[in-house]
Amino acid sequence: MLFDSIDFAFFLPIVFVLYWFVFAKNIKLQNFLIVVASYIFYGWWDWHFLFLIFFSTGIDYNIGLLLEKENRESKRKIFLWISILTNLGMLAFFKYFNFFIENFITVFSLFGYPLKANSLNIILPVGISFYTFQTLSYTIDIYRKRLKPTHDFIAFSAFVSFFPQLVAGPIERATHLLPQFYQKRKFNYEKAITGCRQILWGLFKKVVIADSCADYANQIFENPAAFNGSTLFLGALFFTFQIYGDFSGYSDIAIGTSRLFGFDLMQNFNFPYFSRNIAEFWRRWHISLSTWFRDYLYIPLGGSRGNTVNKIRNTFIIFVVSGFWHGANWTFIVWGCLHALFFLPLLLSKTNRTYLNTVAENSFFPSLKECVQMLFTFGIVVLTWIFFRAKDIHQALTYLNGIFSRSFFQIPFFDKKRESLVIAIFLFLFILIEWIGRKETFALEKTGLKWNRLIRWAFYLLLGTIILLFSGSKQEFIYFQF
């Protein structure tokens, strides 16, 4: 079920009414409702894969109980590895099986041993990369004795399958989200209204910004050889805003929806395109994933401790794995490697933790230095997104070659030029609103609260109207394929 669909527009109010007006006095019934609603939400796409969520839930619930009872370290490690191999095994089969088979055949062919093998027609279950990581954090934290296992299977099932963030995050930690299922929830009007504002802004990002930019980005990326350098650069820019509007928009809707039910999810995006270097960008982009890899992979490997060789090794591991997490394609691995190359000089010079505050924190306008830093960082991000979006390495290199050619100075050309000017205006307004609200957890959190009530609600109504007007150009959420 899609957040921007008619189905969800009916589904959400029904669950909301049942949750607060029928089962409000009983936490267990509320949690059970969440599990049922979440399975309906997920099964609306394809009910056949519901067993994967249930299987992952059952495995890690029981592993948690076994880890609690067992004191012998050797046995505890066995239980932990059962959880890791089960979850990553499911992920590897559904997401990476064909990738490994195809590359295995290619390697043997290069050495003169051609092999024949048929790839399986495997459908990638939506959200598998998210909920497997969520349950893994549960068992790892219990193993590390940072969390006590739950004996409430319904609460744990609700934690794993919680429908607002089930298919595209944020990837929640059990230490943060699971305890919220034990606590009695009371309806909080202010929290709910804030959630509605975040849902509204998320829908604006997705429907108006991401889906509109997708129309032009897709047209240009489908045949990059047909366009000049300036048009290709515009295509990269369109995709840059498409993926941000699409993914951060999903996160906003997920977090806002959770607030309607009394839950707090972690912030997943913190205005990443206002970053002053690539290290700051990664502290602000897909925060739930980057912190997951930091805590469960990078730090156990040694992090930034040790000699220079270890630092370089750990940095490349974390970025390559992050790239590979996004998809079974060499383009994602190259994308990760490029970010590692840009990150390394900051790490080795110990300037990767320089910018922990908000840009232009005490003024509306950034300084000249900050402008240059943001533009340079944004330029790096735009160029690396080309590998992320391209269907293969050859297309990415062709695309870059086209940008860095004399045709870059020609006038851009593609269909629907007039419509693209309208999108450019909305992009400007979008960036402006994001800039105004950059100190908050989302752009509309406090923007307009001091305005006259009539003006404020007129602004919300205007956003809603614009969303409806742009709703015809519907695109699937990008991160559903991850």
- Answer whether residue 292 is part of any domain: no
- Answer whether residue 239 is part of any domain: yes
Q: 170 preceded by cis ω (within 30°)?
A: yes
- Answer whether residue 449 is part of any domain: yes
Last residue of a domain, one of 148, 168, 186: 186
| Residues 481 and 124 sit within 8 Å (Cβ to Cβ) | yes
- Answer whether residue 311 is part of any domain: no
pLDDT tens by residue, 408-431: 888 888 676 667 788 889 999 999
Task: Say which of 151, 326, 339, 394 is annotated catalytic.
Answer: 326
CA distance 57 to 72: 24
- Answer whether residue 304 is part of any domain: no
Last residue of a domain, one of 186, 209, 238: 186
3-state DSSP: the chain helix, strand, coil percent, rounded to 5? 70, 0, 30
pLDDT on residue 67 = 95
Residue (of 154, 148, 152, 157) closest to 175 by Cα position: 148
One DSSP character per residue, 208-254 reads IIIHHHHHHHHHHHH-GGGS-HHHHHHHHHHHHHHHHHHHHHHHHHH
Residue 466 shares a structural domain with residue 375: yes
Residue 252 shares a structural domain with residue 364: yes
Residue 134 shares a structural domain with residue 230: no
Domain that holds residue 408: 191-276+355-481
Residue 376 shares a structural domain with residue 264: yes
pLDDT on residue 109 = 64
pLDDT on residue 230 = 93
Residue 124 shares a structural domain with residue 248: no
- Name the stretches of the chain with pLDDT < 70: 100, 102-122, 414, 416-418, 480-482
pLDDT on residue 48 = 83
Give the Å distances, CA to CA, from 272 to 241, 358, 362, 394: 11, 11, 19, 28
Please count the CA atoms within 13 angstroms of the CA of 90 that sit on its side-chain side: 25
Domain count, the chain: 2
HEC sequence for 374-438: HHHHHHHHHHHHHHHHCCCHHHHHHHHHHHCCHHHHCCCCCCCHHHHHHHHHHHHHHHHHHHHCC
Last residue of a domain, one of 159, 186, 213: 186
Let me know the angle formed at the C-alpha of 215 by 392 and 387, rounded to the nearest 5 degrees.
25
- First and final C-alpha spacing in the chain: 16
Residue 367: count other Cβ atoms within 10 Å of its Cβ. 11
Q: pTM of this prediction? A: 0.93
- Answer whether residue 66 is part of any domain: yes
CA distance 161 to 43: 11
Residue 29 shares a structural domain with residue 156: yes
What are the phi and psi torsion angles at 54 (to 5°)? Answer: -65, -40
Residue 154 shares a structural domain with residue 252: no
CA distance 241 to 244: 5
- Answer whether residue 61 is part of any domain: yes
Catalytic residue status for 326:
yes
Residue 401 shares a structural domain with residue 364: yes
Residue 202 shares a structural domain with residue 175: no
CA quadruple 291, 294, 300, 306: dihedral sign: negative
DSSP state of 334: H
Residue 176 shares a structural domain with residue 101: yes
Residue 171 shares a structural domain with residue 197: no
- Answer whether residue 290 is part of any domain: no
Residue 78 shares a structural domain with residue 163: yes
